[in-house]
Structure 1
């Protein structure tokens, strides 16, 4: 990242003058925020820089020969420990990308008040090119290289899934750690995003998509903010385009369609897109995707060959939920959605961000919008350290207290001859104590509400902070700065 002085010179025109890469976009957004903050240059530099990046090259014998793979684990900030961040498998993985993602993780955790520093990992590999048993060998060797250097450790560095990885890979990593640390009672806490059978938590797979839903719900609770996006009313009935139906996009689309009555009018995938003005049946679309790996030939909606064109389609809300940089200087002027929520990391370049802001488009930033994953990862980590399932101690006690209340109300009604009874569905819902999934969703909802309210307070109170992204960065950087200051820096 550039120094603070150069950051103070960043303007919308400067940002839009060239097409920055992902890391440079993060740098520009960081500099834009610190330019309005009263921080010493030394402290800004400490927050800005990536503490360390470990590059590993290891060989695995596969298919009769040795294949060499390159992986990374970057630690951006240790103002809080352990540090947290996913591991992605993709051919585009490189040091710049991993360090930029680690920086975002630092700020994301600070924004939603999850007590982790920021980290990120990546392996330069196409996971689809290998059979599951081969991928397990590769994953275990990569994990071995990181574990022996404490770059995977429950108290120091806790990975999670990212693009190209999931529960399966996290289970392999957790097992590899346990094999190498046989006496560590907290071994399961070395990684999050695990299957339930390996110490995972209910609601983790859906967490990032669910967080996007909760973020939109909170945005639409504030009429002033909705008006700034040139929209009106609530979330119900809004026309939505989703780019990328991976884990995040598919869950967000399904929850919004089924629970908030939005119309998913368009979806974009790597092999094309689908469009239906009346709303796509997202369950059928995702089932087709799981079956075929693409949307070509899907019996739902109208097939659109140029998936990128759907980013420019007329809609109320655009949800880019795939790769970074999909909205850039060239296509930003043609994006017609008045509200964009970044479900992916860095889907809008700094140049595009400046152009969209000039046009009055409201952007709910990635720093906030896709924080659901790390929030529920935090819950899983706490569960692993406490060695008890959430709700196990209090669920039946809650039910017993609720039964006492309902029984007393019904007794009073009978004694006083009031003649009223509680509706059966109310009794069923009220009497049942919260299970782990309900508690996880409640905690995530509370986290997303609080973080948004903090951002919007800065957004509306400070003239030099004209948008939500800048408000998110200012909030997060301030918290990291205070953490370092308490350490005597």
Structure 2
């Protein structure tokens, strides 16, 4: 029976779930619902795109250094693979949960679609505390998780990458474990690898560089000169510290940054390169940095600045903080840092929010470049990677901006309209296999 693509009846959509602000999947769905209404999305397509395609839960037994066996829980959620192999990072953290992984997998679907990367969305996670584990324990955990997912991962099926508390070494262990089972070296099974194993130039800086690129594009739209722009960055990990340094190199004055030890503020501007060196020499934190005033996380988010980059974790900007934000532009370096109720307040106050599925898509874009290079066996220069990344991110920003103008909606909703529209059109063209 053919689809009735002209049917639109909001009543057949899912019943709204009770408000649960601790559930990031619901936050994602609130934005998805608005885009679905604007697109008048076919109800059957709504059901298809709302649900993850596959959810994998696995027990991971690990022999600890003490000789004890400890069993960890691991997840891999494939949200969608209509546009191509699914793609998404793996995070190791004690508070990882399935709702979070499902939300992150869905965000990856929309993120890839927004920047026109031919991947679907996935995410993985293991409930563990890496800070309490030795390198040997982490290696055994990673290899067993990979072995358990051997029929899930694959260069044409599902491609992992680094995320919170995982890095290129962990990706190297995944590559090696998968390759041992496949009986051949399969570089393209994972991205974010060391350069010597087929990693891409510019991958480490990619997400931060993407944040910088869309920030400059927004400044241009708003006729704001970088030399007259002040910036505050929440989070001083890979994304936040690199975004801060790159924005400073473009002429912006970075007045505040933060990490797990709190915020650091200097109205005259911080020396980001020096702070990054301090972190390296100080056990990975800014604790004790003396050339700035110590401030709280809330004070950082609401300080006097033109651009705010939340690059830490989900749900950092709630309604109360949104009321007091002074920044003209928010660039979401983290996934889901702004809660849905805060969006309305920010919109009313005229704050431009460049959403996560656009702002932090530099990482998956260069992951795509890495996958392409591995498949070709031919590698690009750093200049090539950075030029292609800037072109794709700028094009994506301009398309989202145009969509927001066309529909009279925020950049976030415009990004969802673009992404959901692209994936649903691919689904329409492919049809439903019966």
Classify the TM-score, shorter chain: over 0.9
Query: Does residue 175 in structure 1 map to residue 165 in structure 2?
Result: no
CA displacement at 1:4 relative to structure 2: 4.7
Looking at structure 2, the residues matched to 281 and 6 of structure 1 have their Cα atoms a distance apart, in angstroms, of: 55
Mapped contact 1:7–1:35 kept (Cα < 8 A): no
Counterpart in 2 of 1:36? Answer: 38
Counterpart in 2 of 1:204? Answer: 203
Residues 307 and 382 of structure 1, relative CA distance in 2, 3 Å threshold: same
Query: Does residue 64 in structure 1 map to residue 9 in structure 2?
Result: no
Counterpart in 1 of 2:6? Answer: none
Residues 362 and 139 of structure 1, relative CA distance in 2, 3 Å threshold: same
Counterpart in 2 of 1:334? Answer: 324
Residues 95 and 170 of structure 1, relative CA distance in 2, 3 Å threshold: same
- Residues 316-395 of structure 1 mapped to structure 2, 5 A cutoff: 316-390=306-380
Question: Structure 2 residue aligned with 1:450, among 395, 403, 413?
Answer: 395
Looking at structure 1, the residues matched to 277 and 416 of structure 2 have their Cα atoms a distance apart, in angstroms, of: 37
TM-score w.r.t. length of structure 2:
0.93
CA displacement at 1:129 relative to structure 2: 1.0
Mapped contact 1:7–1:31 kept (Cα < 8 A): no
Mapped contact 1:84–1:105 kept (Cα < 8 A): yes
Residues 201 and 4 of structure 1, relative CA distance in 2, 3 Å threshold: farther
Aligned residue for 1:315, secondary structure, equals coil
Counterpart in 2 of 1:164? Answer: 165
Looking at structure 2, the residues matched to 364 and 480 of structure 1 have their Cα atoms a distance apart, in angstroms, of: 21
Greater Rg by CA: 1
Looking at structure 1, the residues matched to 138 and 80 of structure 2 have their Cα atoms a distance apart, in angstroms, of: 30
Looking at structure 2, the residues matched to 119 and 4 of structure 1 have their Cα atoms a distance apart, in angstroms, of: 27
Counterpart in 2 of 1:418? Answer: none
- Residues 30-109 of structure 1 mapped to structure 2, 5 A cutoff: 30-62=32-64, 63-109=66-112
Residues 172-226 of structure 1, C-alpha deviations (whole Å, 9 max, x = no match): 111111111113x6x110000001011101000000000001111112222xxx2
CA displacement at 1:299 relative to structure 2: 2.6
Residues 338-394 of structure 1, C-alpha deviations (whole Å, 9 max, x = no match): 21010000000111112211222110000100000000000000111111222xxxx
Could you say what the CA RMSD is over the residues aligned between the two structures, in angstroms?
Answer: 2.0
Looking at structure 1, the residues matched to 386 and 91 of structure 2 have their Cα atoms a distance apart, in angstroms, of: 25
CA displacement at 1:22 relative to structure 2: 1.4
Looking at structure 2, the residues matched to 439 and 6 of structure 1 have their Cα atoms a distance apart, in angstroms, of: 48
Counterpart in 2 of 1:271? Answer: 261
Counterpart in 2 of 1:471? Answer: 414
Looking at structure 1, the residues matched to 13 and 226 of structure 2 have their Cα atoms a distance apart, in angstroms, of: 36
Query: Does residue 285 in structure 1 map to residue 286 in structure 2?
Result: no
Mapped contact 1:204–1:377 kept (Cα < 8 A): yes
- Residues 424-435 of structure 1 mapped to structure 2, 5 A cutoff: none
Mapped contact 2:63–2:137 kept (Cα < 8 A): no
Residues 156 and 18 of structure 1, relative CA distance in 2, 3 Å threshold: closer
Looking at structure 2, the residues matched to 98 and 331 of structure 1 have their Cα atoms a distance apart, in angstroms, of: 26
Looking at structure 2, the residues matched to 123 and 257 of structure 1 have their Cα atoms a distance apart, in angstroms, of: 35
Looking at structure 2, the residues matched to 7 and 41 of structure 1 have their Cα atoms a distance apart, in angstroms, of: 6
Looking at structure 2, the residues matched to 446 and 382 of structure 1 have their Cα atoms a distance apart, in angstroms, of: 17
Counterpart in 1 of 2:5? Answer: none
Looking at structure 2, the residues matched to 145 and 8 of structure 1 have their Cα atoms a distance apart, in angstroms, of: 33
Looking at structure 2, the residues matched to 201 and 207 of structure 1 have their Cα atoms a distance apart, in angstroms, of: 10
Aligned residue for 2:415, secondary structure, equals helix
Counterpart in 2 of 1:302? Answer: 293
Looking at structure 2, the residues matched to 69 and 461 of structure 1 have their Cα atoms a distance apart, in angstroms, of: 48
Mapped contact 1:7–1:32 kept (Cα < 8 A): no
Looking at structure 2, the residues matched to 375 and 78 of structure 1 have their Cα atoms a distance apart, in angstroms, of: 16
Counterpart in 2 of 1:151? Answer: 152
Residues 53 and 173 of structure 1, relative CA distance in 2, 3 Å threshold: same
CA displacement at 1:264 relative to structure 2: 0.7
Residues 142-198 of structure 1, C-alpha deviations (whole Å, 9 max, x = no match): 111111xx2211110000011111111111111111111113x6x110000001011
Mapped contact 2:13–2:47 kept (Cα < 8 A): no
Counterpart in 1 of 2:301? Answer: 311
Which consecutive unaligned segments of at least 5 residues does structure 1 have? 227-231, 391-435
Which consecutive unaligned segments of at least 5 residues does structure 2 have? 1-8
Residues 429-450 of structure 1, C-alpha deviations (whole Å, 9 max, x = no match): xxxxxxx101101110110111
Residues 119 and 9 of structure 1, relative CA distance in 2, 3 Å threshold: closer
Residues 294-325 of structure 1, C-alpha deviations (whole Å, 9 max, x = no match): 22211321222x23321111111100001000
Residues 25-45 of structure 1, C-alpha deviations (whole Å, 9 max, x = no match): 101011011111122111111
Looking at structure 2, the residues matched to 8 and 53 of structure 1 have their Cα atoms a distance apart, in angstroms, of: 20
Mapped contact 2:213–2:394 kept (Cα < 8 A): yes
Looking at structure 2, the residues matched to 9 and 359 of structure 1 have their Cα atoms a distance apart, in angstroms, of: 31
CA displacement at 1:290 relative to structure 2: 2.2
Mapped contact 1:89–1:122 kept (Cα < 8 A): yes
Mapped contact 1:20–1:349 kept (Cα < 8 A): no
